[in-house]
Amino acid sequence: MEPHGALWMRKPDLGLVIERITDGVLAIDASWRVSYINLAAKRMLRIVDESDVLGRFWLDAFPKARGRRFEHEYRRAMREQVTIELVEFSPTANAWLEEKLFPSQEGLTAIFRDVSSRIEAQREIERSSSLQQAVIDFGRLALAGLPIEEIGEEAVALLRGGVGADIAEVFLYDWQAQRFHCLAATGWPEHAAHPLTRYCLDHFLSAVESGQPVVMTDMRNDRRLPQMAELTELGITSGVVVPIGTAYQPLGVLAGYGTVPRKFEFADVRFMESIAQTLAEALRTSESNRMTFQVIDSIRDGFVAVDRDLRITYVNQIMAQAYRRTPVQMIGTKMLEYVTDPELAAVALSKSREALASNRAVTFESLVDERWYEVRIYPFADGVAAYVRDVTGRKAEELRVRELNAELERRVQARTKQLELANGELESFSYSVSHDLRAPLRAIDGFSQALADDYGDRLDATATGYLRRVRGAAQRMAALIDAMLTLARVARHEIAFSRVDLSQMAAAIVNDLRDDDPSRTVDAIIEPSIVVFGEPVLLHALLANLLSNAWKFTRNTPHARIELYRGGGEVVVRDNGAGFDMAYANKLFGAFQRLHGVDEYEGTGIGLATVARVVHRHGGSIRAEGEVGRGAAFFFTLPPELPEG
């Protein structure tokens, strides 16, 4: 490119052209005096009268260039005779100038233009991108779970650096008390009152009430807010207040102030709004965390969360107390530092792995210092949380229940043993009864007979009668003993159920009765095929007792009749014999209960007791109806037939 200077030197008539071009042109001669300045340059450099600069030493004409890059580069261009380009902020022009310096032996020509708007735009782009990055970094930081106080400190530091606020502060709004309190502040002059002592400032309220930022360019002239005077007294002249949260749910304000009047850019406000939004999110997260942690801290059980490196990310008060530490001391340290029992550590580790691998809660119990703990491990994305409950009480209760059960079992066993012994005793008692009691009876009977046989001739009728009575008594007692043994056998007899034809059984019994007592004429009317389900031996004892009773008690009845039939689910044995008084019906089935004198009808008083016991052992019931002189009827039920097996 051809130097302008040469062009101008060769053709002086071009002076007019140069005078009119929009670039500034300034010429300095070899002795550093201003030799020419064109119209555009005069306008840019704010020179009203060109005589103020023409012919003067250039640094006297433009004193603000002294010591700046301009001076340095002008001198270098002359010294080295090289063309130099530079972009620099000119305090004289109060603008960014792009300059080209063309040196020659006669002097130096500088051609320059105002590039302020370009530079500013470029700087604005750079600044906004760095602000954007700062907002992103802050967001990451704020949501990392730091305490809200630390996030507040970060916010004010960012505000100071990002928008160049001299003072920055974050106030939280308590909407119930309609009061603000300071979360973080920076940049306040020493003599200013501590921010915590100030509250309820108008511009804060204005911001939270409108949900819109309040921008104050020059407070000294701002009449909107009367309390501004307080701030201007502290040297504050400009500021921006942006609300945190919304007008519906205000959480606080973020404020930045300057000590010089200044116009906050749209980008600055946007930047602050971004920070405010992040703060709002952090506050909400922190609030929900706080509430969660409040709940966790309030529970009387231990709670600890660890990350995948087993570093404690949260521990509640109870858990920390268990290790004689505070939560703050423990957070960030490794959990296994506190678990001294190697067995517990191993179990906890393997259960945590299990929980993470299966993504399911895993529970185990552990005995530590004589107390039982239930540990439930919950997996989550970044680690595991353990919920630790002291279950010593429950364990003790379980142990007590187990001991009680064992004790109960022991008692049952002891009682069973006792019962077995008692049964054994009963058995040997029965044996003795059948054996030992019968022997003396036999002696009584036998020797009575011997007496009668051998000495009968020396006894009178009365003595012989007495001997007969002795023998009769002995034989009755023997019968009683046999009946008692039968009753006892019914109680002990195991029940093996099978189908039993009562009709056939009854017919056989009646035949036996006829054979034993052929002199009697008794009508036996037996309904055929009464088939029941029961134990044959016991049912035989039942029928034999009832039928022989009927046989016996019809002894004095002219037309004796014995019936066996079914009716209404019951089996009935009826006779038309002596009968009984219903008033004594309740005594019928008791052992040794008799409703007739021995001389009237012989018997042991055990028969019906045996009958009742047989029925009851089958799970059935029995009742009797009777009338003196008109017969008796016995009704019994047996359980319905059970399926085979």
Residues binding another protein (CB under 8 A):
430-431, 434-436, 438-443, 445-450, 471, 474-475, 478
Q: Closest CB to another protein among 345 and 477?
A: 477
Dihedral over alpha carbons 600, 606, 610, 613 (to 10 degrees): 120
Distance CA 267, CA 270 (A): 5
Determine the residue type at 581: D
Q: Which is nearer to another protein, 39 or 470 (CB)?
A: 470
How many residues are present in the chain?
Answer: 645
Query: Cβ 446 to another protein, closest distance in Å?
Result: 4
CB nearer another protein, residue 39 or residue 441: 441
| Three-state DSSP state, 601 | coil
**How would you list the strands of the sheet with 250-258, edge to edge?**
179-186, 167-174, 250-258, 238-245, 214-216
Q: How far is the CB of 505 from another protein (least distance, A)?
A: 20
Rounded least distance, CB 430 to another protein, Å:
7
Question: Is the Cβ of residue 38 or residue 448 nearer to another protein in the bound state?
Answer: 448
3-state secondary structure of 200: coil
Amino acid sitting at position 621:
S
Please give the structure tokens belonging to residue 613. Answer: 């016991």
Give yes or no for a contact between 220 and 239, defined as CB atoms under 8 angstroms apart. no
Q: How far is the CB of 606 from another protein (least distance, A)?
A: 17
Positive or negative: CA dihedral 296, 300, 306, 311: positive
CB closer to another protein, 61 vs 481: 481
Identify the residue whose tokens are 């992040």.
278
In sequence order, the 6+-apart residues with CB closer than 8 A to the CB of 22 are 40, 113
d(CA 384, CA 309): 10
Minimum CB separation of residue 453 from another protein in Å reads 8
Cβ proximity to another protein: between 434 and 557 the closer is 434
* Residue 383, strand partner residues: 307, 380
Distance CA 31, CA 29 (A): 5
Indicate the residue among 439 and 642 with the shorter CB distance to another protein.
439
Nearest CA among 512, 546, 507, 566 for reference residue 626: 546
CB of 504 to another protein, least distance (A): 24
Residue 487 Cβ vs another protein, minimum distance, rounded to whole Å: 15
Instruction: Count Cβ atoms within 10 A of the Cβ of residue 218 and give its class: 0-12 exposed, 13-18 middle, 19 or more buried.
Output: middle
To another protein, the closest distance from the beta carbon of 448 in angstroms equals: 8
Nearer Cβ to another protein (77/544): 544
Residue whose CB is less far from another protein, 443 or 531: 443
Give least dist CB 432 to another protein, A: 9
Half-sphere exposure of 494 (CA within 13 A, CB side): 1
Give the nearest distance from C-beta 524 to another protein in angstroms.
Answer: 28
Give residue 148's identity as a one-letter amino acid code.
I
> Cβ 449 to another protein, closest distance in Å?
4
> Which of 146, 437 has the CB closer to another protein?
437
Nearest approach, Cβ of residue 507 and another protein (Å): 26
Round to whole Å and give the CA distance between 480 and 36: 161
Under the phi-then-psi rule, with left for phi > 0, alpha for psi from -120 to 50, and beta for the rest, what region is 493?
beta
| Closer CB to another protein, 235 or 472, in the complex | 472
**Minimum CB separation from another protein for residue 510, in Å?**
25
Bridge pairing between strands 312-315 and 302-307: antiparallel
Kindly write down the DSSP assignment for every residue of 219-264, as one continuous string.
Answer: GGG--S-TTHHHHHHTT--EEEEEEEE-SSSEEEEEEEEESS----
**Which amino acid is it at 104?**
S
User: Which residue, 15 or 446, has its beta carbon nearer to another protein?
Assistant: 446
Gap between the Cα atoms of 454 and 30, Å rounded: 189
User: Closer CB to another protein, residue 432 or residue 529?
Assistant: 432
State the amino acid at position 3 in one-letter form. Answer: P
Cβ closer to another protein: 356 or 485?
A: 485
Residue placing its CB nearer to another protein in the complex, 42 or 438: 438
Tokens 């209404």 found at:
568
In angstroms, how far is the first alpha carbon of the chain from the final one?
122
Strand ordering across the sheet containing 24-29:
34-37, 24-29, 107-114, 95-103, 84-90
Select 215 or 485, whichever has its Cβ closest to another protein.
Answer: 485
SS (H, E, C) 523-538: EEEECCCCEEEECHHH
Query: Cβ 644 to another protein, closest distance in Å?
Result: 28
**CB of residue 399 to another protein, shortest distance in Å:** 47
Calpha distance 230→213 (Å, rounded): 20
Kindly list the strands in the beta sheet with 561-567, ordered across the sheet, starting from the edge strand earlier in the chain.
523-526, 561-567, 570-575, 631-636, 622-627
Closest CA to 65 of 78, 76, 74: 74
For the bound state, the minimum distance from the C-beta of residue 442 to another protein, rounded and expressed in Å, comes to 5
